[in-house]
Amino acid sequence: MKRQDMKRQDMKQDLTLQVNGIGYDISVEPRKTLADALRDECGLTGTHLGCEHGVCGACTILADGAPIRACLMFAVQAEDMALRTVEGLAQGGQWSPLQKAFVEHHGLQCGYCTPGFLMLATGALEDNPDISDADLRDVLSSNLCRCTGYENIVKAVRAAAADMGASS
């Protein structure tokens, strides 16, 4: 092993990430972002990367119930957090009401932004199932989509909220 590689190896830090209720023991350099660690170390590639500097929202996940940009946090900062990614939304082979609503209401086209919107909206509906249209649009405005024009994303989240309210 080259001396440079050995130095990099020495700088790695062992930690456990709790993602979707599963512990992932990983070893990363302190500069590695949470988004990269989820994708490269945990194999959870549903978290997408667009801008990698906090603008597009494609990397949105939930950390202790709150939506965060996983490209703006280092993996080592997330060690004690309960993380949720798009891979954890479906339960028992069944899509979540929100995932179903995205399909039924055409809330996606290419799908690249979709994991981020799903996690953002999941956090918003869990926080306030009766969220107003204005507040929902405000929340969703933090993520970018180049395909849909947003209206169908809003419709899908509204439909999911109604479905979740009806089944609770």
C-alpha distances in Å from residue 92, one per residue of 66, 89, 138 = 24, 10, 32
Query: Exactly one of 20, 55, 95, 137 binds ligand FES (CB under 6 A); which one?
Result: 55
Is residue 146 classed exposed, middle or buried when 0-12, 13-18 and 19+ CB atoms within 10 A define those classes?
A: exposed
The residues in 29-48 that bind ligand FES, with binding defined as CB under 6 A, are none
The one-letter code for the residue type at 41 is E
Dihedrals φ, ψ of 68, to 5°?
-135, 160
Q: Which of 67, 44, 49 is nearest to 119 (CA)?
A: 67
Pick from 15, 57, 102, 118 the residue near ligand FES by CB under 6 A.
Answer: 57
Contacts with ligand FES by CB under 6 A: the residue count is 22
Q: Kindly state the smallest distance separating residue 114's Cβ from ligand FES, in Å.
A: 6
Instruction: Give me the least distance between CB of 59 and ligand FES, in Å please.
Output: 3
Question: Is 83:17 a contact under the CB 8 Å cutoff?
Answer: yes
Q: Does 162 sit near ligand FES (CB under 6 A)? A: no
Stretch binding ligand FES (CB under 6 A), from 5-13, 23-31, 122-130, 145-153: 145-153
Applying CB under 6 A, which residues contact ligand FES?
A: 49-52, 54-59, 69, 71, 108-113, 145-148
